Amino acid sequence: MADDKNNPFGEPTTGHLWDDNLCELTNPPPKWWMMALHASWIFVLVYGIIYPMWPMASGHTAGFTGWTSIGEFKKGVAEVDAKREKYEDMLDASATQILANDEAVNYIERAGKVLFGDKCAACHGSGGQGNPGFPSLADNDWLYGGKVDTIVQTITNGRHGVMPKMGGQKLTEAEIGKLADAIVGGKVTSEPLFMAKGCIACHATRDASGEWVSQHSPEHFCQSCHSYAGVKIDCFDCHTGQPE
């Protein structure tokens, strides 16, 4: 037991004494600390009732509100789409009519930067300056003409070489499956869809003898990008058919 020498203030102790001069007190924690402790477990309990949280054998509790992060995301997308709908409707007009509408031009200048970054910058550069094998879009030297209607035709239908068409180019679930099987089997160039859907625009390389190089080969120009994309990029920024 602690004596008066080791507990000169007469505080209650557990009776344990260490090193002949250190006793263990039994004073309760401060009230503010106890209030914070109880508030924290009450918060966790309430949070678990309102939001998805508690693990179950085949999933988790849905919460009182049914809130989910993906639901919040879709709600945000819907709100953005609702605000954009007015301007997207303007784009049903011809390119010449759109360019004559200041409000539409203001919208497409901003939206176009995003689309260019997603769909075009990989080949033509982030500023349209071009890359080896891909022409510059930042000067007045046009391969197929620089008129508005001609540029629309180029983007929509593509051009000979490696310019894929962007107008309505989608892959069905069945087509995705066929291409995936061909890629896994190492015979992607034997699948007609590889050519028909424009995959060849980016994913075809020949060796010095003129033979097709496998997409798994270090000689394939895509390998450095794909190695990077595997950990850095959402593949579906470029590839259509994103799963739900």
User: And the tokens for 79?
Assistant: 């709100």
Contact 60, 52 (CB under 8 A): yes
Domain residue ranges of the chain, discontinuous segments joined by +: 1-67, 74-157, 173-237
Confidence of residue 243 (pLDDT cuts 50, 70, 90): very low
**pLDDT tens-digit map of 151-189:** 888 887 777 766 766 655 566 777 777 767 776 676 666
CATH number of 74-157: 1.10.760.10
Does pLDDT of 194 surpass 60?
yes
The Cα–Cα gap between 181 and 167 comes to: 26
pLDDT in the model for residue 152: 80
pLDDT of residue 240: 47
pLDDT in tens, 18-49: 777 787 888 888 999 999 999 999 999 999 99
Q: Kindly report, residue by residue over 88-144, the tens digit of the pLDDT.
A: 888 888 878 888 888 888 888 888 888 888 878 888 888 888 887 788 888 888 888
Whole-angstrom distance, CA of residue 20 vs CA of residue 35:
35
Tell whether the model's pLDDT for residue 197 goes beyond 80: no
Answer with the residue of higher pLDDT: 84 or 40: 40
pLDDT band at 212 (very low <50, low <70, confident <90, very high): low
Give the pLDDT confidence score for residue 200 in this predicted structure: 57
pLDDT at 146: 81
> Residue-wise over 12-49: b if at least 16 C-beta within 10 A, else e?
ebeeebeeeeebeeeeeeeeeeeeeeeeeeeeeeeeee
Strand partners, 134: 131
The DSSP annotation for 163-226 comes to: B---SS----HHHHHHHHHHHHTT-GGGSHHHHHTTTHHHH--B-TTSPBPPTTSTTSTTHHHH
